[in-house]
Copies of this chain bind each other. A is one copy, B any other.
């Protein structure tokens, strides 16, 4: 489907937003909605990013994740530089439709610019008595060389 042909439902009626099969995503005051990408096979989380209306429509029409980069303030087709595109398998939304989950096939070695398969490679150390609060690495080894993929940043 062409971008221009995709429309979203009205958010006027809470009951419709919560209980009807109408996609009516809520974009915040900056025009953004958070989207958590998860590996469709392993169900492991990959990254959390944001979409604006245009990038969500591009995601739907292209079948690959397209975000909006808040730091660069531009449309961000994930993988355009690295080749690490995310093929859309499923998109879920929540009760009030102000969040998205993307189940994707992550192409290439990983989702994270640090060279890891996932951006969520650290857990909070929940044991008491450490200040500042400490993190533990759940993925230490790099799965790819970020400099060769992304260049020096």
A6 at the interface (CB under 8 A from B): yes
A window 1-53: CB within 8 A of B: 1, 5-9, 18-24, 34, 36, 38, 43-45, 47-48
Size of the chain A interface, CB-CB below 8 angstroms: 55
Q: Distance (Å) between the CB of A53 and the closest chain B CB?
A: 12
**Which residues of A does B touch, CB under 8 Å?**
1, 5-9, 18-24, 34, 36, 38, 43-45, 47-48, 60, 63, 88, 90-95, 98-99, 101, 112-114, 116, 119-126, 128-129, 131-138
C-alpha spacing A69/B106, complex, angstroms: 33
Residues on B with C-beta less than 8 A from A101 are 45, 120
Do the beta carbons of B19 and A114 come within 8 Å of each other? Answer: yes
Partner of A47, one of B38, B94, B131: B94
